[in-house]
Structure 1
């Protein structure tokens, strides 16, 4: 009798909350603002998160050992410089190609990922985040229906 093995492609089944942030702040300013408003300690990671070749996303992280939580602030977009060769008026024009970490949320500027095993009140966190200057919107994203969930494995 032959044995059949099935491979489960859903390897990543970790519990986390995901908050979408819409802001005009730069990544370092946003990390500083979050450090001030929610008493976080985000620090810039030594390396960017590389999703694929020429797809690099700046990342800030905070390992909250007291509450047993791991926080990640990451940009949802990155720009790639591309040199386009033409034989017309605009020779050797430089263009920028934008890549998204979560393509289904193309308008989101930053993502705040909170990994924890405990229940976490995201509503009070979102209220504190919305008090930051130049923060236009913040809301929780349901991770169950997320198509590109594998892009969030850091």
Structure 2
């Protein structure tokens, strides 16, 4: 009797395109401008991406293109949280020090402000058109594609 062995490699390897966006805009403003320049309809999801039981949350906007059967997701890469800790105990007053803790959705890309994930294999000409459209936005400093095989934290990009 023959033995059939199925080997499943990383199925999710290159089934999406990832675009890094550098800009200092608020997330809702960037989503509005992407909608305007790309002709899409990103809307904010009711719940943010949650890591460590609400300790780190990242805003996310999504749009499902029914014609092309693709899902577009815009996620913030930076999460800033304020942490209060007890100050010097030798003081007359009870002081608390406020420090800001910064975490990243993709730690290997710390300078990237936003990530645009398109869950579909896009050809090179369409990818260039999307990048050129994003670069037309005056408030965007730069945008470029990220090779998904370089990512160490791919599991952070599973939004659903």
TM bucket normalised to smaller: 0.7 to 0.9
Pair 1:92-2:93 in alignment: no
Q: 1:40: how far off?
A: 0.7
Query: What is the alpha-carbon distance in structure 2 between the residues aligned to residue 125 and residue 36 of structure 1?
Result: 12
Bigger CA drift: 7-16 or 82-91? Answer: 7-16
- What's the TM-score, normalizing by structure 2? 0.85
Identify the residue that residue 111 of structure 1 maps to in structure 2: 115
Note if contact 1:76-1:102 (Cα within 8 Å) is conserved in structure 2.
yes
Describe the superposition over 1:37-74 as per-residue Cα deviations: whole angstroms up to 9, x where unpaired. Answer: 11110000000011323111000000011111100000
8 A Cα contact 2:13 2:148, kept in partner: no
Tell me how far 1:13 sits from its aligned partner. 3.6
TM-score by length of 1: 0.88
What's the offset of the Cα at 1:134?
1.2
Q: Which residue in the other structure is 1:127 paired with?
A: 132
Indicate yes or no: 2:69 matched with 1:68: yes
Residue of structure 2 equivalent to 1:81: 82
Aligned pair in 2 of structure 1 residues 24, 85: CA closer, same or farther (>3 Å)? Answer: same
- The structural deviation recorded for 1:36 is 0.6
Residue segments in structure 2 that go unaligned for 5+ positions in a row:
1-6
